[in-house]
Amino acid sequence: MNVSKKVVLFKTLADENRLKMLEMLQKGNMCLGALANGLKISRAAISQHMRLLKSAGLVSSTKKGPFVHYCLEEKNISTMEKKFGISLGLKKSISKSRPVCDQKEDMEVNSKKCSK
């Protein structure tokens, strides 16, 4: 990993809301609305934060109809932790969990692992 990629990664992790989002995703896949409600910030803000987390390889997403569900990229997080000798404490606590959503229609999305 070159220096500029490291800078992007650490800048991405240097935001309190993004760290909170990563912690929330430990519980399982979550849709944008559930993340926004949990953090009390706008969906637009969540979307921008998730764009940065995805570009850093920390999360991935799955789209089902109009809904996007996000999940941790545990393998990438683990690799990063080993490479830099740090621990973010981000391990999914529920395997194969159903997505956590704020709208009834979202719950129809199956709980398959996020794919890129």
Q: What is the pLDDT of residues 54-112, one digit of tens each?
A: 999 999 999 988 888 999 999 988 888 888 888 887 766 544 444 555 544 344 333 44
Gap between the Cα atoms of 54 and 70, Å rounded: 9
34 has a pLDDT exceeding 90: yes
Residue 48, phi then psi, degrees to nearest 5: -65, -40
Cα-atom radius of gyration of the chain, to the nearest Å? Answer: 14
Task: Identify which of 92, 94, 95, 98 has the alpha carbon closest to the alpha carbon of residue 111.
Answer: 98
Gap between the Cα atoms of 3 and 36, Å rounded: 32
Give the three-state DSSP class for 85.
Answer: coil
Domains and CATH numbers, the chain: 3-89 (1.10.10.10)
Q: What is the pLDDT of residues 99-116, one digit of tens each?
A: 555 544 344 333 444 543
Residue 76: CB atoms within 10 A of its CB come to 14
Predicted model pTM: 0.76
